[in-house]
Amino acid sequence: MIQTDDLGAGDRALTQMQLLMSRLVELHEKEEDLEEELTLLARRRTDGTSHLLELASTADTYSRRQTEMAEERTALTREQTRLSTRSTELANIRTDFGRERTSLAGQRTDLAVRRTGMARERTVLARERTGLSGERTNLARERNELAEGRNRFAERRTSLSTMRTELAWGRTYLALIRTGLAFLVLGISLFRYFGLSWWSLFDGALAVGSAAIVFWGGRGYHRATARMRLLMEGTHDRA
């Protein structure tokens, strides 16, 4: 805004200076005309002395006018000098503004170069981020595969735990069968040793109970074996 006002003031100053120059030319022309008239008056004075006073008064008038025009010309010269000084100051200001504009243009160029470098770095970072995203995707796939394998191992471990439980039940039932057989043999041995007596009731009860235990253990062992077979078939199918 300051630069625009200074340029407008400079243009006005140049316009005034041109007007003053034209005025000065007109004054010079008038001065030449007056000098010609003085020459004519001098000739007329030599022609007759009757018009001497009139010519003297006219010469005095013209002298006064010439003095006034000289004073006006001096004022115009001073104004022209002032306007020239102002024009020089405006030129210096315009030169300073030009230098500042050049400096700002250089700074703008530096900023453009830095922005280009940052854009390139951002592109490189984007490519690295894309590569890391691909690696993360691959790692996620491997993690999913490992999770699936872990699930399969967990299912197999569960199946093995169930099989172990069934084997434990089978072993328990076999222990019951063994215990029942032992007591059955004991009851039969007592019955054969003591023969028929009141102890035969105890021997019969012991033999019957032992037979019930053997039957219960054999039935449980059979069911545990069947469940174990089903579990093994299911394990083979999943494998």
pLDDT tens sequence across 164-213: 888 888 888 888 888 888 877 877 777 776 666 666 676 677 778 888 88
Query: Residue 2: which pLDDT band, with cuts at 50, 70 and 90?
Result: very low
Both tokens of 132, joined, read: 């890391």
Instruction: Please say which residue of 74, 101, 117 terminates a domain.
Output: 117
Number of structural domains in the chain: 2
Distance CA 79, CA 170 (A): 130
Q: Are 184 and 210 in contact (CB under 8 A)?
A: yes
Both tokens of 130, joined, read: 């894309």
For residues 161 and 102, membership in a common domain is answered with: no
Q: Which domain holds residue 233?
A: 150-238
pLDDT tens readout for residues 12-44: 777 777 777 777 777 777 777 777 877 877 777
Q: Are 27 and 69 in contact (CB under 8 A)?
A: yes
pLDDT tens readout for residues 66-114: 788 878 888 888 888 888 888 888 888 888 888 888 888 888 888 888 8
pTM above 0.75, yes or no: no
3-state helix, strand, coil split of the chain in percent (to 5) is 95, 0, 5
Counting residues of the chain whose pLDDT is more than 70, the rounded percentage is 84
